[in-house]
A and B are shown apart, each in its own frame.
Chain A
Amino acid sequence: MALLDKYAALGAQYAQVEAQGANPFNVTFEAMISATEGRYRGKPVLLLGTNNYLGLTYDPEVVEAALAATRAEGTGTTGSRIANGSYGGHKGLETELAAFYGRKHGMVFTTGYQANLGMLSVLAGKDDHLILDADSHASIYDGAKLGTAQVTRFRHNSPEDLDARLRRLDGTPGEKVIVVEGIYSMLGDTAPLKEFAEVKRKWGAYLVVDEAHSLGVLGATGRGLAEAAGVEGDVDFIVGTFSKSLAGVGGFCVSDIEGFDVLRVATRPYMFTASLPPGVIAATRAALAALRARPELRARLNENAVRLYNGLARLGFALGPEPNPVVSAIMPSPEVAFAFWARLLEAGLYTNVSLPPATPKGLALLRSSVSAAHGAAQIDQAIGMFEAVGREMGIIGADAPIAG
């Protein structure tokens, strides 16, 4: 028995996809051209699967901030915040995030994944309870696993099931911590946060909201779903990422809770990893400033989201329940998803394939994400390619109306 034999079945599946000549889990772009275009196998491709919501990856101010900080402070910090020291930029970004959210405290992590590992592993201790939405991201499940709390999951987006689980815990010692997301990354659906907040208040639980896909997307000032739903006062912790709307890499948590800073010497995913390099910190600060100063980016993003969602819906594609920057077409099987994805790429459109167990309910998804940087003509071009491939493969009817 060889060491990796336990992955034989997974390896066989992967080899089968690879053998088809185009593997959605193994794409290397030859070049990036802009926030919406890359080059793949010698041809330009329109990027519709990058989570680059505000399109800030090539923003001149963001790029210049990264360059200036790198020249001034070097390429890396070569150490962790607690062992090797913070730079002014780390503290500055934490202060700016806290100010943006109107919170007392902010903490920056090296990735969004680590923000969830770091917070969920320590917020609930051995005698506490973590209650997760069933469709939570892998980083939420992994953070729960890294900690010592008792973990249960409730039916996706169901305040009734959350209520039932808190009722079952009534009288059980320990704090209860609920974890939900703003926009779910697979189907682009939002949480019923107002209802969750009511349940949270009823049982005296704490509420964590992961705004990874909703920061810069939802809310009057772009703070996310909690702002849009008017329940920021009920949310005890907001976690998020810099790698989507903020065009960099890293994660964060903001909160008003008393004693927050003790977590800096309690949470291992913060303590035992190198801190973000000066260039990334400076770029993220510039991107956050752009997010705040340029609400037109959010408006354009949401126009594009609605344009793509409505365009694909009109063609007869089965989509997630609401128009958001994540637009997923539900495919009849993984095989069809692979074939559809490969034909789109061949035609010059890059999307994503998402499969179970990463997806809910065993769905095979062809997932797109739009950007504020997309022009309306690019969205229409993408809809046209979906239409052509969809008709060719018989996924949508021949009598479906023309895109536009």
Chain B
Amino acid sequence: MSDNDAELKTVIFETLRAALTKPAELSEATHIVDDLGLDSVAVMDFVMEIEDRLDLSVPLDKIAEIQTLGDLLTVLRGLKAGA
């Protein structure tokens, strides 16, 4: 894993921990809706926090494809590479 990936993961996990009301075990396999119980708007709000921290915008069709934190990492990696 590159340094860049490690940084992205830290941002995702930190942002998510701050957004969740109870502590949860987080990994790339964590399913955002099934494991964390976020609804569609809560997912978009959580992604918005990450957008702020990374200064990038994640299009809604990309958010719709994200199921696990690993998926989110892949999307962010792609957007950072394209930026």
Contact = CB atoms under 8 A, between A and B. Distances in A.
B43 to A, nearest CB: 9
B55 A153 contact: no
Interface string A147-161: 000111101000001
B39 A144 contact: no
Interface in B5-60: 39-42, 44-45, 48, 52, 55-60
Nearest to B41: A357
A153 B42 contact: no
25 contacts: A134-B45, A134-B48, A144-B60, A145-B60, A150-B59, A150-B61, A151-B59, A151-B61, A152-B57, A152-B58, A155-B48, A164-B55, A165-B57, A168-B56, A168-B57, A356-B39, A356-B41, A356-B42, A357-B39, A357-B40, A357-B41, A357-B42, A360-B41, A361-B45, A362-B42
B39 to A, nearest CB: 5
A134 B57 contact: no
User: What bracket does the count of chain A residues touching chain B fall in?
Assistant: 10 to 19
Interface string A224-266: 0000000000000000000000000000000000000000000
A323 B69 CA distance: 41
Given A164-B55, A168-B55, A152 B41 contact: no
A357 B57 CA distance: 21
B61 to A, nearest CB: 7
A134 B60 contact: no
Interface string A132-143: 001000000100
Contacts of B55: 164, 168
Given A356-B39, A357-B39, 12 more contacts: A150-B59, A150-B61, A151-B59, A151-B60, A152-B57, A153-B44, A153-B48, A168-B55, A169-B57, A356-B42, A357-B40, A362-B42
The 5 lowest CB-CB distance pairs between A and B, nearest first, are A357-B41, A151-B60, A152-B57, A357-B39, A150-B59
A356 B39 CA distance: 8
Contacts of B39: 356-357, 362
B59 A152 contact: yes
A141 B52 CA distance: 21
B60 A153 contact: yes
Contacts of A152: 57-60
A361 B44 CA distance: 11
Contact of B44 (A134, A161, A362): A134
Q: Identify the interface centre among B41, B42, B45: most chain A CB within 10 Å of its CB.
A: B41
A151 B63 CA distance: 10
A135 to B, nearest CB: 9
Nearest to A130: B60
B35 to A, nearest CB: 14
Interface string A356-393: 11001110000000000000000000000000000000
A357 B59 CA distance: 19
Contacts of B44: 134, 153
Contacts of A134: 44-45, 48
Contacts of A164: 55
Nearest to A359: B41
Contacts of B45: 134, 361
A39 to B, nearest CB: 35
A163 to B, nearest CB: 12
Nearest to B64: A145
Interface string A47-59: 0000000000000
A164 B53 CA distance: 12
A161 B48 CA distance: 10
Contacts of A144: 60
Contacts of B40: 357
Contacts of A361: 45
Q: Identify the interface centre among B39, B42, B57, B58: most chain A CB within 10 Å of its CB.
A: B57
Contacts of A151: 59-61
Nearest to A131: B57
A144 B48 CA distance: 18
A196 B72 CA distance: 30
A161 B52 CA distance: 9
A165 B57 CA distance: 7
Contacts of A168: 55-57
A51 to B, nearest CB: 22
B31 to A, nearest CB: 14
